[in-house]
Structure formats: C-alpha cells, structure tokens
C-alpha cells in the first residue's frame, strides 16, 4: 500500500524515470494533506469553550474530512493501477484479423475510461476538501487559521493536478459523449473551487494581519 511507504522513498520513486508514481499520485497526496489539516484545525477547536457555538458543525466537518482523507490516501495507489492498465492495453499484440484489432482497441478504450474516472474522482474529493477548508478558516480556532489556509491551497493544487490527468486521458477517448460529460463536470468543479480558494486564502490573510 502506498501509505506504508516512507515519505523519502516515495519522493525518490516520484523523481525516478519510471512513469508511476507520477502527477496523479502527487495530486492525491496534496488532497490528503489538505484533508488532514482540516481535521487538525477541527481537533484544535472542538472542546474549547470560546468556539462552543461552532462545535456541532466542526464535528461534522471532522467526520467528513477524515472520510475524505481515507479516500484520498487510497487514491494514491488507484492512479498507478489505472495508468498501468492503459500502458498494458497499448502493449497488447496489434492482431492480424479485424476482430483481433477491434478487441485490442476496445481494451484500450475501456482502460482510458477508467484512467479518466480515477483522477476525476480525485478531483471531486479535492473539491470537497476545499469546501471544508473554507468552513474551518471561518469557524475554526483562530490560532491555527494559517493551517486552514494551507489546507485550501493543498486541496486546490490537488484538484488542478488531477484535472490535467483527466484531460490527458479524456482526449484519446472515442466515445465523445463520455469524455465531454466528464470534462464538463471537471470545469464546474474547477470554477467553484477556484472561487472558494481565492476567497478563503484572502480571509485567512486578513485574520493574520
């Protein structure tokens, strides 16, 4: 499992001439760090009398951020599998008959659809972390508001990164309805999260002045 690997060894693998782990794994880690920092701010707020009014809401945020962190941690490895499946399908013998050729093409196309949906799911999870970061920046312990600001930037970087992997795979998909539907959803996630990130980072900066 990717989460059992030492951080330094993961960075060595990322830097190596092997294609995986690559940007998709880095995107999932950025999202997971964002979720972890949302949880940290909640953990340092819940139980403090000064923030009693927001306690119930931040308990809900914490439950969600811990769920998202688990999913994003799992997503680090999903990306490697999806990439390897595409490479494996392209590596199949090209075939001599029309039937064999069509079968190879179908396998490539099926693998590309999975390799589009895996980073799209990572993008959706990162977009959720962006929303939770905004709540913690507003209602969390002001002594750790900078951590809420780091959370939102990490999660948004994860979303922007996953978006590139969605595009790179969607581009080669022949089923254009499938591809365009995914790209449309992606645009909507990027637009909403971009606005939330800008507003949240500015709010955090204002609290630090």
Interaction site with a copy of itself (CB under 8 A)? 1-8, 10-12, 14-17, 19, 22-23, 26-27, 29-30, 32-33, 35-37, 39-40, 43-44, 65-66, 69, 73, 76, 144, 146-147, 149-151, 153-154, 156-157, 160-161, 164-165, 167-168, 171, 201, 204-205, 208-209
Closest separation between CB of residue 197 and a copy of itself, Å?
10
Please report the DSSP string for 156-202 in residue order. HHHHHHHHHHHHHHHTT-S-HHHHHHHHHHHHHHHHHHHHHHHHHHH
Residue 96 C-beta: closest distance to a copy of itself, Å: 28
Residue 17 or 96 with smaller CB distance to a copy of itself: 17
Least distance in Å: CB of 94 to a copy of itself? 20
Buried b (16+ CB within 10 A) or exposed e, 10-45: beebeeeeeebbebbbbbbbbbbbbbbbbbbbbbbb
Token pair of 170 as six digits: 């969607």
CB closer to a copy of itself out of 85 and 162: 162
Location of structure tokens 């039937």: 99
| Closest CB to a copy of itself among residues 87, 100 | 87
State how far the Cα of 107 lies from the Cα of 115, in Å rounded to an integer: 12
Q: Which is nearer to a copy of itself, 99 or 206 (CB)?
A: 206
Q: Least distance (Å) from a copy of itself to the CB of residue 58?
A: 13
Q: Which residue number, 102 or 146, has a Cβ lying nearer to a copy of itself? A: 146
For residues 132 and 37, is the Cβ–Cβ distance under 8 A? Answer: no
| CB of 141 closer than 8 Å to CB of 41 | yes
Min dist. Cβ of residue 86 to a copy of itself (A): 12
């Amino acid at each position: 499992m990717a989460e059992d690997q030492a951080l330094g060894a993961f960075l060595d693998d990322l830097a190596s001439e092997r294609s995986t782990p690559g940007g998709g794994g880095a995107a999932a880690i950025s999202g997971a760090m964002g979720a972890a920092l949302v949880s940290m701010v909640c953990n340092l707020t819940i139980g403090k009398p000064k923030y009693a009014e927001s306690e119930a809401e931040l308990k809900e945020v914490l439950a969600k951020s811990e769920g998202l962190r688990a999913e994003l941690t799992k997503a680090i490895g999903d990306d490697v599998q999806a990439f390897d499946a595409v490479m494996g399908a392209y590596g199949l013998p090209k075939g001599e008959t029309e039937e064999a050729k069509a079968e190879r093409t179908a396998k490539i196309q099926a693998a590309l659809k999975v390799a589009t949906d895996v980073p799209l799911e990572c993008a959706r999870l990162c977009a959720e972390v962006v929303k939770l970061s905004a709540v913690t920046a507003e209602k969390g312990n002001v002594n750790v508001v900078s951590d809420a600001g780091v959370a939102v930037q990490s999660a948004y970087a994860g979303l922007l990164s996953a978006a590139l992997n969605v595009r790179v795979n969607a581009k080669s998909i022949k089923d254009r309805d499938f591809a365009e539907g995914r790209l449309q959803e992606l645009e909507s996630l990027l637009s909403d999260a971009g606005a939330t990130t800008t507003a949240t980072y500015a709010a955090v900066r204002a609290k630090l002045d």
